Amino acid sequence: MAKDKRNQLNRRNVVKGLGVTASVGLLGGLSSATPSQDDAVSADMVVENKPNQVDEFVTRSLEQGETDSVVKAYSELDEKQLELVRDAYERVTTTEISPENAITPKSIPISPSVSYTHKVKETNTTIWKASMTLDCDYYPSNNNVTYRSLSSNGNAPNSLWHYKGIDYSNVDTAGAVDAKRKLRFSHSVAGQHISTNQAILDIIAYDNGNINKSANRKVL
């Protein structure tokens, strides 16, 4: 049993969602409607060897937000059930990675952006989103890029998640302008801590005008 527990924890402590460019789709919003009795959740849904039922519990919870039904259900989960919920969460969510601004390499200034959007797979609704923009001046006549500023934003429209701020920020200007930030998000309901995520955003502006971007998610 202890070995199984360690394996579960090791699976959670991984980086997920590597990507560089993708088109942005229209993201649906969270419904504020009161759930019907058929859609209500309960701790009894979280049962070992019934992964589809646990997936349904997590998906409904994310869609409904912090309703009385969801709060009550999470408050009654024991540690084993919380582990099942954590595993199910990884199955029912997905990622969208996008450079939000088009890049024109010969323009002065340049402001490349990258974003990481975490979503409910079944309904395409946003759970949380992290974005970052690097502002530089590019001089094509002498192949030079200079750093101006770095900005980022974290937003958690889902009431079961909370944006906690910037864990790490660094800009390296040796040879290129390499900007990286890590933004923290916490998943907690009714005093039960489910997980903590880091969005890891990186933009590199090279002296020849080329731009590299990446966005990842790390489960802490």
What percentage of the chain carries pLDDT values higher than 90?
Answer: 70
Q: pTM for this structure?
A: 0.80
Q: Using CA atoms, how far apart are residues 89 and 152, in angstroms rounded to an integer?
A: 26
Helix axes 51-64, 68-75, angle to 10 degrees: 130
For residue 34, pLDDT over 80 is answered with no
Q: Residue 100: what pLDDT? A: 61
Contact predicate 157/179, CB 8 Å: no
Q: Greater confidence, 22 or 131?
A: 131
Contacts with 36 (C-beta within 8 Å, 6 or more apart), sequence order:
none
Q: Residue 108: what pLDDT? A: 79
Taking the CB of residue 12, how many other CB atoms lie within 10 A of it? 17
Q: Residue 132: what pLDDT? A: 97
The three state secondary structure string of the chain is CHHHHHHHHHHHCCEECCCCCCCCCCCECCCCCCCCHHHCCCHHHCCCCCHHHHHHHHHHHHHHCCCHHHHHHHHCCCHHHHHHHHHHHHHHEEEEEECCCCCCCCCCCECCEEEEEEEECCCCEEEEEEEEEEEEEEECCCCEEEEEEEEEEEECCCCCEEEEEEEEEEEECCCEEEEEEEEEEEEEECCEEEEEEEEEEEEEEECCCCEEEEEEEEEC
Average pLDDT over residues 58-82: 96
Contact predicate 216/15, CB 8 Å: yes
